[in-house]
Structure 1
Amino acid sequence: MRLSLRSSLPRTVVMLAVSAFFVAVGFGVMIPVLPLFAASFGVTNFLIGLVVSAFAGMRLAMSPFVRRISDRVGHRRTIGIGMWVVGGSSALCGLAGSYGELLAWRAVGGLGSAMFTISATALLLASVGPELRGRASGLYQGGFLLGGMTGPAIGGLLAGVSLTAPFYFYAGTLVIAGTIAFTQLHDPPGMAEATAAAPTRSLAEVARDTRFRAACLLSFGTGWQSFGVRSALVPILVVSYLGAHPSWTGIAFAIAAVAQTLALQPAGRATDLIGRRPVMVAGGLLAAASTLATPFAPNLPVLVVLLCVYGVASAALGTAPTAALGDAAKDAGSQPVAIFSMIGDSGAILGPLVAGLLADHLGMPAAFGAGAAILLAGALLSWSIPARLDRPEPVRAR
């Protein structure tokens, strides 16, 4: 009998992508002014950085407990509550009358972020079969990317009004996203019963699965490089090494984000049609190569091209590892998803710190080379995924 793949994605996946867009728009509006608002309290640069890190630190610390919350109240409610927690904490950040209040409310936002991030990933994987996980992950990541490109432009206008206006805008977008979660998302049939039942596959079994280990290593590398090193050091390359105006940093990132967005759906289709392993290997190798070349860019156009190449690689690393995670974590509950998220967050926290030290003492090539080594290791581990475990199970045509 001929085999075919269904191309339509469930409504839940589409609405997850829409809610991701609103989250990313608000985050893109707020995050550029957060350091400036913290500095208005007359604190040191270290304390300004602490405000930025508090969100990720709390998110990492609370990730192990999110599974219990989602198992008790369901993924849909956990996503909605988490988004409203971040929205409320953002509004309270805008109302903060001291540095201590700002730090505390920013940390509370990390709790809400852990709730909706982990539960949204679990719901995404549970809402589609293995033959659609790549495309579903691509659509979801696309929502974040489009919001991330839109947010800074709006943020620039709001910052001209006041430093606190972006916090209230972020709160509003999170209220919208949370409302979408409560009214438009639905746990798949049987998900509640499956969640209540004891997992039939242990965490130890999942941890031994090469797909899970490769996905986690690439998640760590992506967090390290994409959300850490690239954001921290590329602006320095643009201004201090290439002598360009700081505005070119935003332009370069925006062009790279367009390249990544355009590559998401092809990467998702490839993940579903030819397997997780080829896309993970190609994405890891391409990301490692472009990362190694970045500090040697002789001029701004070459740097932009390298960032675009990395954006295409990021599209592959934003889809295939998530699909591999869903394959490996089947019948194991939501704990593997929480671990996957925590490992990515750890990379995002450690990356800028280690890369900063390497850049200070050994130079930019060493700083970028460390991230490239992690991505290369992820590609090599992905290559060892057995072929029998790599191809998604197709849906038979009726």
Structure 2
Amino acid sequence: MSDETTFSFRSLAISAYGPTLLFGVGDGAILPVVALTARDLGASVAVAALVVMLMDLGSLLFNVPASVLTARYGERRVISGAAAGGVLATMLCFIAQNLAVFCLGTVLIGFSASVFMLARQSYLTEAVPVQYRARALSTLGGVMRVGVFIGPFIGAAAIHAFGLSSAYAVGAVALVLAGLLSARMRDLPPHPHLEKERAAVTVRGVLRDHRKVFLTVGMGILLVAAVRSSRQAVIPLWAQHIGLSPQASSVVYGIAGGIDMLVFYPAGKVMDLKGRRWVTVPSMLVMAASLLAMPFTHSAVLLTLVSCVLGFGNGIGSGMVMTLGADFSPDVGRAQFLGIWRELSDTGATLGPVLLSGVTAAVSLGAGIMAAGLVGLLAAVVLARAVPTRTMAKVS
């Protein structure tokens, strides 16, 4: 671990956060056009929506293998390799002439994103002193969000000039640059006294040894991810429901996203100085209250206000999933632990929209949004009970 007296975030600005920003730009450029490309290749609306989910499915399927790769080859090599894999996957989408090839490319993008983010989290967990951990990981999450926010604008400019598929070229260029910056990262110092133990670690063993954490805090993380993934859909859906134009809906979503990006560092500082519970529980309570209030908004102004509060709640929770994962991860088996942790998070992110869709189909959109709010309240209760008051010290 880095020397606490000489640690500076500046040392991570280029090598650690630069690639994350670029990876986010690449994702942001690609995400808005995946469904449109699928439609151009002959997919129905329903199939196009399914293709969008393939990226999340790729991440879900590859979290545990990504942890094994990270443990075996080290964070720096794996991060660079993930960027290279993302370039190949993106170019596969760029040249795809049929839906099958395009679907393969989207799954591979999910694979590379899974490897990249897991290895990045593992690297910062080791490289940053524990008293700065929440700030470092909140900044990691915040920088990724900034990239995803910027990416669509760069992609839109490329599409305007060169056509729809050029968005994938933007993504590929961003990932090439991310890989080049990642190559400048310093390798983590070796731990000879732990190497023999680390070589003997298995995913099954980590799952068995830390099952209590996964069944308590881990369930809270699953619920957090479900609420967060639902929030991405509820703003545009409710905006359409109350009669706003697509342009107005995009403005509301963008304003809420801007609020989301402004508060990640202060939230990380609070977690470091006061404890994780000071942010994890309020984040879920604010998001839950916003979701429960949204069905009662019937104008653009009210929807914007509630959406901004929702964005604030999500923003203050930036990095909390990664921070808690880092806190509970063991020195021996850390990568495998984080792989399982991300599996829980991605499972929640998959289940959130399913719940929203199911309740909406059975009752109404308003009921679906309120159901997501109730999940947020449940997440707050679980985290309040399971997360220690202070997590500055190692907890496992």
TM-score normalised per structure 1: 0.89
| Residue aligning to 1:178 | 179
Note closer, same or farther for the CA distance 1:385–1:219 as it changes in structure 2 (3 Å cut).
closer
- 8 Å CA contact 2:142–2:319 kept in 1: the answer is no
CA RMSD between the two structures:
2.5
| Residue aligning to 2:189 | 189
Note closer, same or farther for the CA distance 1:372–1:218 as it changes in structure 2 (3 Å cut).
farther
- Of the structure 1 ranges 152-161 and 69-78, higher mean CA displacement relative to structure 2 is found in 152-161
| Residue aligning to 2:379 | 378
Q: Does 1:217 pair with 2:219?
A: yes
| Residue aligning to 1:18 | 18
- 8 Å CA contact 1:216–1:340 kept in 2: the answer is yes
| Offset, 1:195 | 5.8
Question: 1:64-97: CA deviations, max 9, x gaps?
Answer: 1112111111111111111211111111111011
- Of the structure 1 ranges 293-302 and 378-387, higher mean CA displacement relative to structure 2 is found in 378-387
Q: Name the CA distance, whole Å, in 2 between partners of 1:247 and 1:55.
A: 26
| Residue aligning to 2:163 | 162
Note closer, same or farther for the CA distance 1:179–1:218 as it changes in structure 2 (3 Å cut).
farther
Q: Name the CA distance, whole Å, in 2 between partners of 1:174 and 1:326.
A: 26
Question: 1:89-129: CA deviations, max 9, x gaps?
Answer: 11111101111111112212222122112111111211112
Q: Name the CA distance, whole Å, in 2 between partners of 1:384 and 1:64.
A: 27
| Residue aligning to 1:346 | 347
- The one-letter code matched in structure 2 to 1:172 is V
Stretches of structure 1 that go unaligned for 5 or more consecutive residues are: none
- 8 Å CA contact 1:13–1:127 kept in 2: the answer is no
Q: Name the CA distance, whole Å, in 2 between partners of 1:6 and 1:321.
A: 27
| Offset, 1:194 | 4.1
Note closer, same or farther for the CA distance 1:15–1:247 as it changes in structure 2 (3 Å cut).
farther
| Offset, 1:58 | 1.8
Note closer, same or farther for the CA distance 1:346–1:202 as it changes in structure 2 (3 Å cut).
closer
- The one-letter code matched in structure 2 to 1:313 is G
Identity %, equivalent residues: 23
Note closer, same or farther for the CA distance 1:223–1:48 as it changes in structure 2 (3 Å cut).
same
Note closer, same or farther for the CA distance 1:354–1:5 as it changes in structure 2 (3 Å cut).
farther
Stretches of structure 2 that go unaligned for 5 or more consecutive residues are: none
Question: 1:177-209: CA deviations, max 9, x gaps?
Answer: 1111122x2232135864653369954443323
Q: Name the CA distance, whole Å, in 2 between partners of 1:307 and 1:335.
A: 36
Q: Name the CA distance, whole Å, in 2 between partners of 1:325 and 1:166.
A: 33
Q: Name the CA distance, whole Å, in 1 between partners of 2:193 and 2:248.
A: 52
- 8 Å CA contact 1:222–1:317 kept in 2: the answer is no
Q: Name the CA distance, whole Å, in 1 between partners of 2:7 and 2:77.
A: 28
Secondary structure of 1:186's match? coil
| Offset, 1:5 | 9.1
| Offset, 1:255 | 1.4
Q: Name the CA distance, whole Å, in 1 between partners of 2:314 and 2:350.
A: 18
- 8 Å CA contact 1:93–1:167 kept in 2: the answer is yes
| Offset, 1:7 | 7.7
| Residue aligning to 1:91 | 91
Note closer, same or farther for the CA distance 1:195–1:162 as it changes in structure 2 (3 Å cut).
farther
- The one-letter code matched in structure 2 to 1:197 is E
Question: 1:226-280: CA deviations, max 9, x gaps?
Answer: 23x2233321211232x22211222222212221222111100000000011211
- 1:145-294 equivalences under 5 Å are 145-160=145-160, 161-183=162-184, 185-190=185-190, 194=194, 197-198=197-198, 202-209=206-213, 215-227=217-229, 229-241=230-242, 243-294=243-294
| Residue aligning to 1:368 | 369
Q: Does 1:121 pair with 2:136?
A: no
Q: Name the CA distance, whole Å, in 2 between partners of 1:192 and 1:354.
A: 47
Q: Name the CA distance, whole Å, in 1 between partners of 2:357 and 2:110.
A: 24
Secondary structure of 2:318's match? helix
| Offset, 1:176 | 0.8
| Residue aligning to 2:68 | 68
Q: Name the CA distance, whole Å, in 1 between partners of 2:387 and 2:82.
A: 37
Secondary structure of 1:223's match? helix
Number of corresponding residues: 385
- 8 Å CA contact 1:218–1:284 kept in 2: the answer is no
- 8 Å CA contact 2:236–2:253 kept in 1: the answer is no
Secondary structure of 1:32's match? helix
- Of the structure 1 ranges 27-36 and 169-178, higher mean CA displacement relative to structure 2 is found in 27-36
- 1:285-324 equivalences under 5 Å are 285-324=285-324
Note closer, same or farther for the CA distance 1:273–1:342 as it changes in structure 2 (3 Å cut).
same
- 8 Å CA contact 1:264–1:316 kept in 2: the answer is yes
Note closer, same or farther for the CA distance 1:386–1:349 as it changes in structure 2 (3 Å cut).
closer
